[in-house]
């Protein structure tokens, strides 16, 4: 095999550095990344939706496309659903179809931002009828969790204001707390509520859940089944996301990620494309926490849900999703190669640049041969992009589906 010689050379070099390559491969085979149903359908910006020939038109087609991505990557066996975009009459039938493809239903994402009623907010709307509508929809999603076996309710809100004096900050906070409490008590046994925050947009004066501290405050008030969801594009420019990750892990409050990449705001580009070093540093904190002696911290790290949330507007949908998963694999693999004993020694000696070089030595390692070997051992093609190019699946979709102008005409922005 073409990759074999490169892998053997890398394995020898890693072993010489005291790294257990077999242990690294076990971790890579166990890695999981959840892909989003909306990433397989046509989506766009506020200006234009560019249709992709073969884009999925309904949730069954989305699951089929996700299964194709799984066949190339081997670590993406679940799909997050967005309600009502993915609503069906028979959830048992959908779950059975997913299982027939070797897939699972993942996080359930309520939509409380597109209806006309939500113009001034959903959970925080001053109109009690609108709040009731939004809460009832979230409660409906907890029932969908039960019907599909999903363990995560992923909550993002467009709630906020555009002008000073428009509404009461504290009043909206209290409405949010009341709504959260009702939904939290309806969670299925073992289910989790992940609270997502966003710095700004669509409201521009204030956002009700604008940062991780506010989300963490609500999660603490609710109980152990509530945690914080970090979307990597939902921060002010220059924010140290890996620091936020570390603090939430240490508090046992990090529940999951929506992985994407951004240059300016909530760009929702493919994860690891703009700042791959940041993604590597995030995984570094996660791996470090998994090995923490504090059982709360290590348990929290082991139960983090890794989900993609991206808007593939100009890219081929399936190739873009494969790229997303592969970028996560590469970042995780590099983080696994960090010499943590050496890092601890450099830190203890206050060797600033020495500690930095321990990280960069791992980051600059070409892990592609390692990932190729892991895929071969999993019964997959060593190069997912070559396998994608050789497959007739995308062309088949284009012939059968056409322009794919179905569900989710716009992007959720969550």
Which ranges constitute the DSSP H helices of 17-58? 21-30
pLDDT at 49: 86
Contact 118, 134 (CB under 8 A): yes
Domain ranges for the chain, please list them.
32-337+381-401
Encoded tokens for 129: 């009828």
pLDDT tens digits, 310-338: 999 999 999 999 999 999 999 999 999 99
For residue 385, the number of C-alpha atoms closer than 13 Å in the C-beta half-sphere is 9
At 239, the pLDDT band (50, 70, 90 cuts) reads very high
Question: What was the pLDDT predicted at 1?
Answer: 60
Question: Angle of helix 169-185 relative to helix 128-148, nearest 10 degrees?
Answer: 30
Residue 409: pLDDT over 50: no
Please state, in angstroms and rounded to a whole number, the distance separating the CA atoms of residues 54 and 93.
24
Q: What is the pLDDT of residue 47?
A: 77
Confidence band, pLDDT 50/70/90 cuts, at residue 406: very low
Q: How far apart are CA 201 and CA 258, in angstroms?
A: 17
Tell me: pLDDT of 275 over 70: yes
The Cα 388–Cα 369 span in angstroms is 18
pLDDT at 46: 66
CATH for 32-337+381-401?
A: 3.20.20.150
Tell me the pTM: 0.95
First-to-last C-alpha distance (Å) of the chain: 42
pLDDT of residue 64: 98
**Contact (CB, 8 A) for 155 and 195:** yes
Could you give the CA distance from residue 51 to residue 405 in angstroms, rounded to a whole number?
7
pLDDT band at 408 (very low <50, low <70, confident <90, very high): very low
DSSP state letters, 148-202: HT--EEEE----EESSTTSS-HHHHHHHHHHHHHHHHHTPPTT-EEEEE--SSSS
Would you state the pLDDT for residue 278?
Answer: 98
């Amino acid at each position: 095999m073409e990759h074999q010689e490169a892998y053997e050379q890398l394995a020898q070099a890693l072993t010489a550095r005291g790294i257990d390559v077999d242990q690294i491969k076990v971790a890579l085979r166990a890695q999981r990344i959840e892909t989003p149903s909306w990433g397989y359908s046509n989506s766009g910006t506020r200006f234009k939706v560019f249709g992709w020939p073969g884009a999925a038109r309904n949730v069954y087609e989305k699951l089929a496309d996700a299964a194709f991505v799984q066949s190339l990557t081997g670590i993406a066996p679940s799909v997050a659903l967005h309600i009502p975009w993915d609503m069906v009459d028979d959830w048992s039938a959908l779950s059975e179809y997913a299982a027939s493809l070797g897939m699972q239903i993942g996080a359930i994402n309520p939509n409380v931002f597109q209806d006309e009623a939500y113009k001034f907010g959903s959970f925080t709307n001053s109109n009690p009828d609108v709040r009731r509508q939004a809460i009832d929809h979230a409660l409906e999603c907890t029932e969908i969790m039960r019907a599909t076996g999903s363990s995560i309710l992923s909550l993002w809100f467009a709630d906020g204001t555009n002008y000073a004096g428009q509404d009461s900050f504290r009043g909206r906070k209290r409405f949010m707390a009341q709504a959260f409490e009702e939904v939290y008590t309806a969670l299925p046994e073992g289910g989790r509520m992940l609270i997502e925050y966003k710095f700004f947009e669509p409201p521009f004066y204030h956002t009700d859940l604008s940062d991780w501290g506010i989300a963490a405050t609500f999660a603490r008030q609710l109980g152990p089944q509530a945690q914080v969801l970090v979307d990597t594009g939902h921060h002010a420019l220059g924010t140290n996301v890996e620091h936020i990750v570390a603090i939430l892990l240490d508090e046992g409050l990090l529940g999951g990620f929506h992985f994407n990449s951004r240059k300016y705001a909530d760009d929702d580009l493919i994860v690891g494309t703009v700042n791959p070093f940041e993604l590597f540093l995030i995984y570094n904190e996660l791996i470090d926490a998994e090995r923490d002696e504090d059982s709360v911290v290590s348990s929290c790290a082991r139960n983090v849900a890794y989900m993609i949330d991206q808007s593939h507007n100009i890219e081929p949908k399936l190739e873009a999703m494969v790229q997303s998963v592969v970028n996560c694999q590469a970042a995780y693999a590099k983080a696994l190669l960090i010499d943590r004993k050496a890092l601890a020694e450099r830190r203890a000696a206050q060797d600033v640049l020495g500690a930095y070089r321990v990280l960069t030595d791992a980051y600059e390692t070409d892990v592609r041969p390692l990932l190729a070997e892991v895929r071969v051992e999993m019964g997959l093609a060593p190069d997912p992009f070559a396998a994608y190019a050789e497959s007739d699946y995308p062309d088949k979709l284009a012939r059968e589906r056409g322009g794919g102008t179905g569900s989710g005409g716009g992007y959720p922005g969550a």
